[in-house]
Amino acid sequence: MNFVDFSPDFPPNFYPFAVELRRAGVTVLGLGESAYDSLRPELRSALNEYYRVSSLHDYDDLVRALGYFTFRHGKIDRLESHNEYWLESDARLRNDFNIPGFHTQDLTRIKRKSEMKAVFARANVPAARGRVVETLEDALSLVDEVGFPVIAKPDIGVGAARTYKLRSRSELEEFFANKPLADYIFEEFIEGAIETYDGLTDQDGRIVFSSSMEYSEGVMDIVNHQLDFWYVARREIPSDLDALGRRLVKAYGVRERFFHFEFFRTPEKKLVALEVNMRPPGGLTTDMWNYANDIDIYREYASVVARNRFDARVDRPYYCAYLGRRFQHRYTHSIEEARQAFPGRVCYSGAISGVFAAAIGDFGILVRAPEIEEIEEMAAYLLAREDGSEG
């Protein structure tokens, strides 16, 4: 089997995908911009061959690279980046080289939030009321239906970048006076905490791994106000969340792929779908899954690709939390002090790649514990600031 690992060195913590695919007997072909010598040694040893292009944005270069790989190794069986940014390039290359997976014609319902709503409706999954608006008059018409505040966000976009909470007509007018060129979808504001339904399907579309996270703050507020925040992979998935998540996996026909679905949990305990992502959750979440379950999700993914098998036992003995710190703040306790205060609970700490820092912090810490109260205690300890401020 020939597997093209698209941009194999980013994000940095995804290099084990290549390592485990090679270990599973797959021919791993790296395609990226970075110089081969700059790749970490474990990644270099995992790649059967590496093709460097001057720019991953140059589609002609990408076609030449896959043509070369095909000439050298035969038909390309899989191509994957596990990355939202390259979703379109992945799909286009799959089209042109007849590779299984999501193709260009699938992208509209995956990338456009307005089209996601149509899928939600067909799958009988509740979602916020909203639609793409082009003018102030369109927006005011929607406000007549749902009231203020409304959320304005790019119809195609990742995370909470360029997302706004508009509370009045004057704020609407200011938005349209300076509106970016992108299509914007306006939605009713939903009060609630974010919960996710995440996992991996096998080649037949069966969910072989599932998980759920809760966030301490809304992503929009974290990005816009540069807050400290933390999120936790839970030990149990609520039954209503599991049911809605399974409906979406089926509606989208997710096969041999990670998924990351976001929902709001309202004060009335109802779930409202926010968006879908056909990739692993960002940051260090895949590593959190490993610590929460004492498994190797990279190895299990490779097994699904190579043999359509997932052999690990998933019983979630731990909560695992990500705690994000920011360089502009001074914190009361060092990582070493935390390791001494909570023996065996701090799993990992390290700098976060710049592209993710706005959303999840400049420095990430992973902690795990069997009880949520201990997770909350560690979060308070590690995010406490010397000036006594919060968030």
Reading the block at residue 255, the tokens are: 């096969």
Q: What is the pLDDT of residue 217?
A: 60
Secondary-structure class of domain 2-102 per CATH: alpha beta
CATH class for the domain made up of 129-188: alpha beta
The least confident of 105-114, 180-189, 225-234 is 225-234
pLDDT tens-digit map of 141-176: 999 999 999 999 999 976 556 899 999 999 999 999
Average pLDDT, the chain: 94
Closest-CA residue to 209 (of 285, 284, 158): 285
What confidence tier does 4 reach under pLDDT thresholds 50, 70, 90?
A: very high
Task: Give 16-64 pLDDT, tens digit per residue.
Answer: 999 999 999 999 999 999 999 999 999 999 999 999 999 999 999 999 9
pLDDT at 222: 46
Q: Quote the CA–CA distance of 34 and 18 in Å, as a whole number.
A: 16
193-383 architecture in CATH? 2-Layer Sandwich (3.30)
Handedness of CA 38, 8, 90, 48 (dihedral sign): positive
- Encode pLDDT of 96-115 as tens digits: 999 999 999 999 999 999 99
Q: Which residues contact 117 (CB under 8 A, 6 or more apart)?
A: 127, 130, 131
Contact by Cβ (8 Å): 5, 21: yes
Phi, psi dihedral angles at 315 (to 5 degrees): -125, 5
Q: Give residue-wise pLDDT tens across range 236-252.
A: 999 999 999 999 999 99
pTM of this prediction? 0.93
Confidence tier at 181 by pLDDT (50, 70, 90):
confident
Read off the pLDDT band of 366 (50, 70, 90): very high
> Domain boundaries in the chain?
2-102, 129-188, 193-383
CA 160, 165, 170, 176: dihedral to nearest 10 degrees? 30
Mean pLDDT computed over 225-232: 75
Contact 287, 348 (CB under 8 A): yes
Task: Report how far apart, in Å, the C-alpha atoms of 146 and of each of 7, 42, 87, 122, 296 are.
Answer: 42, 53, 33, 22, 45
User: What's the CA gap between 205 and 248, in Å, rounded?
Assistant: 12
Task: Using alpha carbons, list the distances in angstroms from residue 286 to 13, 52, 107, 129.
Answer: 9, 26, 24, 32
**Is the distance from CB of 89 to CB of 59 less than 8 angstroms?**
yes
**Sign (positive/negative) of CA torsion 185, 201, 279, 243?**
positive
- CA Rg value for the chain: 22
Three-class SS state of 276: strand
Query: What is the DSSP code string of 127-190?
Result: B--EEEE-SHHHHHHHHHHH-S-EEEEESB-STTTT-EEE-SHHHHHHHHHT--SS-EEEEE--
Structure token digits, residue 301: 């993914």
Residue with tokens 């998935």: 237
- CA pair distance 292, 82, nearest whole angstrom: 21
Half-sphere exposure (Cβ direction) of 192: Cα atoms closer than 13 Å: 21
